[in-house]
A and B are shown apart, each in its own frame.
Chain A
Amino acid sequence: MIKVQQEDFDVGAEIAALKAGRTDIGAVVAFLGTFRDQAGTVTALTVEHYPGVTEREPEHIEAEAQARWPLQASLIVHRVGTLRPSDNIVLVLTASEHRQAAFAAADFLMDYLKTRAPFWKRESGPSGSTWVEANAGDDAASARWSEVKKAAE
């Protein structure tokens, strides 16, 4: 499940909701991405998205994660709008019987968010504002999942 929202989220409340009514979960991994000010050079972050696609497309990716690992539940929360340093940006939760699957699936979902989900960030600071450039390291991190899949086949 994915939630795209302007408002902040409560990590503890999201984990509690994921676990509610379930007695089979043995491991929950949470990744929280937060806004860093890069030594005071960035004072605001604006996140834009492609409405409709950001809510729908990740469901296919979560389904892929569930096919790769024995996941019991997952959740993505991504904020949009204008954020301030230290604000929460993104939360990924994965739940499984054992930690390995939950760690790997959370890593996989984050790589998807970094390289394929249609969100864009704009950083503003004392010297003006610029769109964040895509990071080649993120592409490489994402590509390793297809290598892992090929190796497994």
Chain B
Amino acid sequence: MRLLYFAWVKEKTGIGAEDIELPATVSTIADLMSWLKTRGPEFEHAFARGEVIRAAIDQTHVRHDARICGAREIAFFPPVTGG
């Protein structure tokens, strides 16, 4: 599965994209965020304010309770500030 990070989430994790194998226990976006936080201080820091982080599965915005089964690409990013 490909994970993408944008803006301050990317800055805090230190990477923009990675391909990883997830444990079978990770079934929702919220599970994935909890699991990512266990991967080291950078990830713990990046996902500390998890409630404000937005997620997209295969380029479509989803809620944190969305199931990730079958996803090819999951992105995490802060609230948008374009325009």
Contacts and interface: CB of A to CB of B under 8 A. Distances in A.
Nearest to A33: B83
Contacts of B59: 50, 52-53, 56-57
A50 B75 contact: yes
A119 B80 contact: yes
A59 interface: no
Query: Which of B4, B6, B7, B78 has its CB near the most chain A CB atoms (within 10 A)?
Result: B7
Nearest to A90: B83
Contacts, number: 68
A131 B80 contact: no
Interface stretch (A5-13, A63-71, A107-115): A107-115
Contacts of B6: 48, 50, 118, 120
Interface residues of A, number: 29
A47 B82 contact: yes
Interface string A25-41: 00000000100000000
A114 B80 CA distance: 7
Contacts of A50: 4, 6, 56, 59, 75, 77
A122 interface: yes
A119 B11 CA distance: 15
A113 B7 contact: no
Interface of B: 4, 6-8, 11, 56, 59, 61, 75, 77-83
Interface of A: 33, 47-50, 52-53, 56-57, 78, 89-90, 110, 113-122, 131-135, 138
